[in-house]
Chain A
Amino acid sequence: MKLFRFKNTLRLVPLVCFLIFIMFNMTPVFASEDMAGLQEEINALNTKINALDNRLNKTELHTATDKISLGLELRTRVDSIHYEDMRIAPSWLMNGFFIDAMTNPITGQALTPEDIPMLMTMMPPGSTLQDMIAMSGFNGATKDYIQGMMAFLSSMGMTPEAEKYNADNDFMFTNRLRLEMKSKISGNLSFGGRLSMYKVYGDSSGIKFNTGSFNDIYLDGNTTSVPHGDTVHVERAYFNYKTGTDRVPVNVSFGRRPATEGPPLEYKNYSMEGGSPMAPIINWQFDGASLSFGLEDVTGIPGAAFKLCYGVGFESDWGNSYSLTDGRHIEDATFGGFIATLYDNELTSVELNYAHAWDITDGFTGLMLMPFIPFEEADGTYAFEMNKGGYISRMQATENIGDFDLATILVRSNLSELLADIDVFLSLSMSHTKPDDLSKNPFYGLMGMGLLSSNGDMEEQDGYSIYTGAIFPMPFKARLGVEYNKGSKYWINMTGAEDSLVASKLAARGSVVETYYIQPVVNKNFFLTLGGVFYDYDYTGSGNPLGAPVKISDMKAFDAFFPVADKVWNVYLSATLRY
């Protein structure tokens, strides 16, 4: 039995050997086929990887040599503007500046204030003030005489009334183009900038007829914020260098500052925060620097940050008639301040902005077309010449008139966690002026104007402003905004670059109401805005640091040598492309 089993087992040996032989000889055949297939796949993958590598190399080369990324915004807008009860001095009074003043018939000298009663007695019975001015105007008179005449008429209750009229600009179209520039040079160095063009349809003259508003002057502070034609200007260009520690990041920046359209104007503009100083006090193109510190990690307060800012509003020793001369020296007008983010958890924020202006001047360098040119002659008399040739004037500052302080606190909140996606904001602002000299400009000097003062008065003044609004989401992703602001008699700020064809609403010494409806058409790339603004001015000179504000209801002709707005309606419709 055992022998039988052994013989049977022995018969299996060849079979096993054969199978082993087959395994070792056939396996390479199977392995080589798999390997070949795998190799083919590997080769195919390598080909694809090489192709991807080539494509990536091209993209990397493109990215590395495309040093600036560009974004664009193009806005076309139509405005309808209506001025009610504009005030202006009567034309016969204005013409009086071009009528030669008499000389004293006895002394042969220029008239003095003491000669005014004599002048009155020389008039035929029944003569009016208009007749008297027609006989003896102000051309060639001394400042003392002109000021004396104004004071005399005021004391006698004979100051002529300002005339009222309405003015309409039914439709005015504008185009504004912005090219945003960004460049990330390294992890801690970047560049930001914006080129802008803003023009009125059918106008590229660049220079306006001066009607007494900052908007009428081509200034460094408003080159792209007020329509000046199809010239492209550099609105902002600055670098950011990030340093500091992980707990306190520090950012240093120099250049032409992103100082326009700061918070809370982003709601109306349907954009992110557009700039750095708070819009209620500063909305002005200027060159300068900033130094900011991120303090969230060291304070534990969400969003806490502190930023120091500096800017130059007027450079005295460049391009002016007195630059680098031995004589009376005008100081540069400079600004400095800080912006403190007291709290910001991305839904609610509280920010404080303070700024001090040193050596504010009675004007900035700028270009405009003056309707008439006043001269102060060497003998102290004034000459007035109508600008019949339409000559452009380069305005320059003639005196430092004082310092002022501006401050604002802004609270913003989104109510999506409490109620709905509604944004609300409130800004409380104050200004304090400290005059120290009167203007030496022939026209402003004639009126004895200084920092928020006239007739030679130089008193410190405080002003206040409130700005508030709410923005509601509407169907079809639209937004409805309602805003209100009010400024006091002596309210002053630096918002001449605000986006308004009438005047800065946030500079108003009076009340302004604005509503707007924003309707996206193609996401946020293309949207329409329909809005309306109503200005109700209480006092003259909104936004102008020169001259004492006068209550509009009380103003006389001498307060209205340039047109003064009382109530203004501005309705607008715009289409904006942003990409």
Chain B
Amino acid sequence: MKKTIIILLGIILTISFSMISSAEEGNERKGKYTYRKVYQSCKDRGEVESATPTLSPDAKTQAQWDRYFEEKKYLEADCKEEWNKLSEEDILNIHAYLKGHAADSPTPAKCK
């Protein structure tokens, strides 16, 4: 019984830590998901032919992604309607994802 309580407490504490930790700036995982959703919605609307985002994370360097978001260049690209609907948090998450996997990051990534 004691062992079960300790294990349950450990699980609760771990999940609590996770929820605190998750509330940091720019969640890459959420950003990856939201970025894909933008192009999926855009494709459903018929503006683009494929749900694969036109810009992969490794299309730019980290500094270039910072400038891209500072200058809000995403509003000049495809799927403006979907980009305009995103919240500040969504934009931050997408920024974190793209920058985290930029061409000069330790883990450059390409959209599948």
Chain A residues proximal to chain B, CB less than 8 Å: 71, 246-247, 271-272, 294, 296-297, 302-303, 305, 344-347, 414, 416-417, 419-422, 472-475, 477-478, 480, 523-525, 578-579
Indicate whether A345 sits within 8 Å of B33 (C-beta atoms), given known contacts A302-B51, A420-B22, A474-B17: yes
Tell me whether B17 and A472 are in contact (CB under 8 A): yes
Shortest distance in angstroms between A63's beta carbon and chain B's nearest beta carbon?
12
CB of B32 within 8 A of chain A? yes
The residues of B that contact A247 with a CB separation of less than 8 Å are 49-50
Complex alpha-carbon distance, A71 and B105, angstroms? 9
Contact of B106 among A422, A478, A579 (CB under 8 A): A579
Complex alpha-carbon distance, A307 and B54, angstroms? 23
Tell me whether B14 and A480 are in contact (CB under 8 A): yes
- What are 24 A-B contacts with C-beta separation under 8 Å? A246-B49, A247-B49, A272-B101, A272-B109, A296-B52, A297-B49, A297-B51, A302-B36, A346-B35, A347-B32, A347-B33, A416-B22, A420-B15, A420-B21, A421-B21, A422-B15, A472-B18, A473-B18, A475-B20, A523-B106, A524-B105, A524-B106, A524-B107, A578-B107
The residues of B that contact A246 with a CB separation of less than 8 Å are 49-50
Tell me whether B22 and A578 are in contact (CB under 8 A): no
Shortest distance in angstroms between A475's beta carbon and chain B's nearest beta carbon?
6
Tell me whether B27 and A421 are in contact (CB under 8 A): yes
- How many residue pairs bridge A and B at CB < 8 Å? 84
Tell me whether A347 and B40 are in contact (CB under 8 A): no
Shortest distance in angstroms between B93's beta carbon and chain A's nearest beta carbon?
9
The residues of B that contact A478 with a CB separation of less than 8 Å are 21
Tell me whether A419 and B112 are in contact (CB under 8 A): no
Contact of B15 among A71, A294, A419 (CB under 8 A): A419
Shortest distance in angstroms between A183's beta carbon and chain B's nearest beta carbon?
13
Tell me whether A346 and B32 are in contact (CB under 8 A): yes
Complex alpha-carbon distance, A480 and B14, angstroms? 9
Tell me whether A71 and B50 are in contact (CB under 8 A): no
The residues of B that contact A422 with a CB separation of less than 8 Å are 15, 18
Shortest distance in angstroms between A522's beta carbon and chain B's nearest beta carbon?
10
Complex alpha-carbon distance, A305 and B52, angstroms? 13
Shortest distance in angstroms between A493's beta carbon and chain B's nearest beta carbon?
26
Shortest distance in angstroms between B105's beta carbon and chain A's nearest beta carbon?
7
Interface of A is mostly: loop
CB of B24 within 8 A of chain A? yes
Tell me whether A414 and B17 are in contact (CB under 8 A): no
CB of B80 within 8 A of chain A? no
Which residue of the partner chain A has the closest CB to B101? A272
Contact of B107 among A272, A302, A416 (CB under 8 A): A272
Hey, what's the 0/1 contact readout for B81-112 against A, CB within 8 Å counting as 1?
00000000000000000001100011111001
Tell me whether A347 and B50 are in contact (CB under 8 A): no
Which residue of the partner chain B has the closest CB to A305? B112
Tell me whether B30 and A296 are in contact (CB under 8 A): no
CB of B5 within 8 A of chain A? no
CB of B45 within 8 A of chain A? no
Contact of B24 among A414, A477, A525 (CB under 8 A): A477
Complex alpha-carbon distance, A152 and B95, angstroms? 73
Complex alpha-carbon distance, A525 and B105, angstroms? 8
Shortest distance in angstroms between A306's beta carbon and chain B's nearest beta carbon?
13
Known: A419-B18, A525-B106. 17 other contacts (CB 8 A): A271-B107, A272-B109, A296-B51, A296-B52, A303-B112, A345-B33, A347-B32, A420-B21, A421-B27, A421-B30, A472-B17, A473-B18, A473-B21, A474-B18, A474-B21, A475-B20, A578-B106
Complex alpha-carbon distance, A303 and B37, angstroms? 12
CB of B19 within 8 A of chain A? yes
The residues of B that contact A579 with a CB separation of less than 8 Å are 106
Hey, what's the 0/1 contact readout for B8-49 against A, CB within 8 Å counting as 1?
000000110111111010010110110110001000000001
